[in-house]
Amino acid sequence: MSTPRVRRSRIALAGVGLAVVLASAGCTSAGTASEPSSPDRNRAIADAMNAAVKAGFPGIQVVITRPDGQRTLTAGAGDIATGAPIADDSRVRIGSNTKTFVSVVVLQLVAEGKIELDAPVERYLPGVVQGNGNDGNRISVRQLLQHTSGLPDYLASGDPSRTPDPNSPQLKVDTEAMRTKHFEAADLVRIAMSMPPQFTPGAKAVYTNTNYVLLGMLIERMTGRPAGDEITSRIIDRLGLHDTYYPASGESVIRGAHPEGYHVIDGKRVDFTDLDPSWGGTAGAMISTGADINRFFTALLKGDLLPAAQLAQMKQTVPFDRMPGAGYGLGLVHQSSPCGKEVWGHGGSIPGFETRNGVATGGAAVTVTVNQLPTDEATSAAVTKVLDTALCEG
């Protein structure tokens, strides 16, 4: 593993597409982080990042965006072979952050009168949600958005806290054999419909990727265009997110500058950068940067993407089964930071990369990226510590 480094890289002038380099990368003696130009502001973040690298992550990046500017900190390696750190504008797979983009498009369609939140899914996708006790007549669009549908997850790794059933038809995607396989959304839904529901619709919330694959199909049915195209025209182009995109069908290579993404299989670290993300689809296939993620969530919460009524609906939460104490809205997670700041965001995991993010009270947006999924509770806690520290110190 390379020597941990933390860099004060650049600040982007607020509201302007121009960036001014303020300090170059620096490195002190092995095993220590270089001191940024504002040590009191960044020392705690640097310490948390270095601890994450020591815990086992190849590399880590933190992007902090405030109304008065932006800064990027990195530690560890974006490429183990060369030791190069994660570059400032690196594109990465953002996993389930895709869900928030999908939710925004659905809620825009609600605002346009094309979809009703509490209408049954069967109205828009007739015959799709049927079989083995699953019934689209009993499940609303809102329940898909909020993971209260009760539908089974087509992914065996849909909930990392549960041990997958070896006899389940669910996809086991974190294997070498799955990296080049291609799936259509209908294929994923058929896998889900081959299993019984997890619970009665509306009884509780259990995070389930099937919900957002169905929402992607819903967008396509109601607009006549692929969901990725709608995300692009309604959000990416509108906000000028130049490093964000929805991969084309069969596209397995990340465009532009990017770190290597690693995955641990049977105790061995494997380069998992290139893969066909079609099994993630509208539940997790998108690619972006920390800066673009911050810009997206900041714009969303400011009301730049949705009318006030739909944004208010998005922020109505239920208890989130993945995060005790947190709430899940319509594709949006709410929690409180250790320093008492209210935080809205989402986060995403996919073999090779994990991103955790939030916009805190006061306007600071933070995205933390690691180029390997956590392997246990300790490594997961190390990433949480980095996000919490950056939100509180940032």
Q: How many CA atoms lie within 13 A of 4 on its CB side?
A: 20
Compute the C-alpha angle 7/83/355, nearest 5°. 60
Q: How far apart are CA 61 and CA 383, in angstroms?
A: 10
Closest CA to 352 of 227, 173, 198: 173
Q: Is 96 known to be catalytic?
A: yes
Which residue blocks in the chain are alpha helix, DSSP H?
A: 39-55, 98-111, 121-124, 141-145, 185-193, 209-223, 227-231, 237-239, 281-284, 290-302, 308-314, 377-393
Q: How far apart are CA 72 and CA 11, in angstroms?
A: 8
Compute the C-alpha angle 254/255/259, nearest 5°. 55
Q: Tokens 């991969």 map to which residue?
A: 247
Provide the token pair at 194: 């081959």
SS3 377: helix
Q: How far apart are CA 178 and CA 29, in angstroms?
A: 41
Q: In this structure, what are the phi and psi dihedrals at residue 157, rounded to the nearest 5 degrees? A: -95, 15
Q: How far apart are CA 317 and CA 278, in angstroms?
A: 29
Q: Which of 96, 140, 157, 349 is catalytic?
A: 96
The amino acid present at 58, given as its one-letter code, is P
Closest CA to 120 of 111, 112, 129, 110: 129
Residues in the chain: 394
The amino acid present at 323, given as its one-letter code, is M
Provide the token pair at 76: 């560890």
> Strands, E, within 86-196: which ranges?
92-93, 130-131, 134-135
* 347 Rama sector, left if φ>0, alpha if ψ -120 to 50, beta otherwise: left
Residues annotated catalytic, as ranges? 96
